[in-house]
Amino acid sequence: MNPFDVIDETCVTQFDDCADVIVVGLGIAGACAAIEAKRAGGDVIAVERASAGGGASALSSGLFYLGGGTAVQQACGYSDDAQNMYQFMIASMGSDNAQAVRQYCDQNVEHFNWLEQQGVPFERSCYKDKAVFLMGTEGLLSTGNEKVWPYRELARPVPRGHQVTGEGESTGNAAMQPLLQVCSELGVRGYYDTRVQALITDQSGTVVGVKTQQGGDTRFLKANKGVVLATGGFAMNPDMVQLHLQGLSATAEALGSAYSDGSGIQLGVAAGADTDAMQNYIATASIYPPGQLIKGIIVNESGQRFVAEDSYHGRTAEFIAKQSNQRAFLIVDSEIFAYPEIETARHQLIDGYETIEEMEQALAMPKDALVATLNQYNTAARDGVDPDFMKHPEWLKPLDQGPYAAFYISFSQSIYLYMTLGGLKTNANAQVLNSKGIAIPGLYAAGACSAHIPKSGASYASGMSLGPGSFFGRVAGRHIMSSNEDTP
């Protein structure tokens, strides 16, 4: 049941404040929307539930999926362009939002430059090995499925994970602080510790304001141009998670801020918005680093491989979740044995075994199933090929150096961290659409409360939240101040 409703403007006796644009949520998407709306000449109010801006973006690892030939890519010796980036994104993430993807790729270099101009720092250096996030300050790393078959044959593989320069695992704050500083310098007015309780519409259905609650004070804020929803996903809302994420493991843990509770999605739906991909999420419990573990094989409880082990960790997770009982094992030999370094995943070493037959029996797999899988894999790997899943040759080696080891990496046993991917359906202008595909006048959305470009964990790439979130936040801020109210 949706706890939000809409209020008819005629029921509001007096507005307590007024601005051209009201931005709800001041994470990466909201901050970028506020900056662009302000620079377009608008008076902007930001309504934020926390005591300061930042949101889940400030808690993130600070990765932006950017490409097309950014200064960081060029400095690291990589050749990329908008068409190459577009071909990969469409191939791996689908063509549902082709117009938005085209726009994102074509304007990506400009967007990178804009971020740096606001003070978001990116080091001109590259991390070559496999990683989920960096503890160092390298500015570029591979964070997606660019080198995974068949995508590597459809577009030239190029790293596009741009990590903000900062210290530690969560460098998202190093991106948020300069953006929030720009908001302050431009005069964006903030209502903090404030919750939006309803959208306000006029008789034509145009969104013209919001009702807010701060402590015991209720305020009605008028928006002359419209409202931008930038409130984040819904991973922290147990009711929405239970309703939409049917395949989620009971051991999975949500990523986000305490306010990633789907309120923006529910506000939009109350105003007639359509949603998309609400059943989808990106989960992660990576087996790498260290990268050498990618040279192992991943099998299900029947002893069968089902995914290329060099896949992005979100892709691997989605395939594991679809296996019987959501169970999977990582099999390695003595030559590549190591413990997975992502401690939060809690992948457990089951045991070591002198032979594959012994392992197969201990893991209660069908007789000769794992033996046949290893024999077939090793025969092909000796020739530098993987005809079953086309694992990249750089990660191929026969697993024939006993003893052997097996790790539990089951979706139902390890700790998979997840983010929601579904949200309000929007067009390339970041306008929120109704069930007929028509833009709701005065209502925009960007960031994780809108449906992501990659609509599944299998197609996600790290940085596809901060990258498009910041980009389409800017799009919303500019378009809301324009005189055009385009429909698709």
- Residue-level pLDDT at 487: 40
- Residue-level pLDDT at 169: 67
CATH topology of domain 1-280+420-488: FAD/NAD(P)-binding domain (3.50.50)
Q: Look up the CATH number of domain 286-408.
A: 3.90.700.10
pTM of the model: 0.95
Whether the ω angle into residue 150 lies within 30 degrees of 0, i.e. cis, is yes
Average pLDDT, 10 consecutive residues per value, the chain (488 residues): 90 96 98 98 97 94 97 98 98 92 98 98 93 86 95 97 84 95 98 97 96 95 98 96 90 92 97 97 94 97 97 96 96 97 94 97 97 98 96 96 97 94 97 97 98 95 97 98 58
| Token pair 């519409």 in the structure block, residue | 201
- Residue-level pLDDT at 249: 83
Determine contact, residues 343/415, Cβ cutoff 8 Å.
Answer: no
- Residue-level pLDDT at 96: 87
- Residue-level pLDDT at 2: 84
Show me where the domains of the chain are located: 1-280+420-488, 286-408
Nearest to 163 by CA among 135, 191, 198: 135
- Residue-level pLDDT at 202: 96
Instruction: Report the distance separating Cα 332 and Cα 291, nearest Å.
Output: 12
- Residue-level pLDDT at 168: 67
- Which 8-state DSSP code applies to residue 11? G
Instruction: Report the distance separating Cα 289 and Cα 295, nearest Å.
Output: 12
Category of 447 on φ-ψ map: left (φ > 0), alpha (ψ -120 to 50) or beta: left
Determine contact, residues 149/92, Cβ cutoff 8 Å.
Answer: no
- Pairing assessment for the beta strands 439-445 and 217-229 based on DSSP bridges: parallel
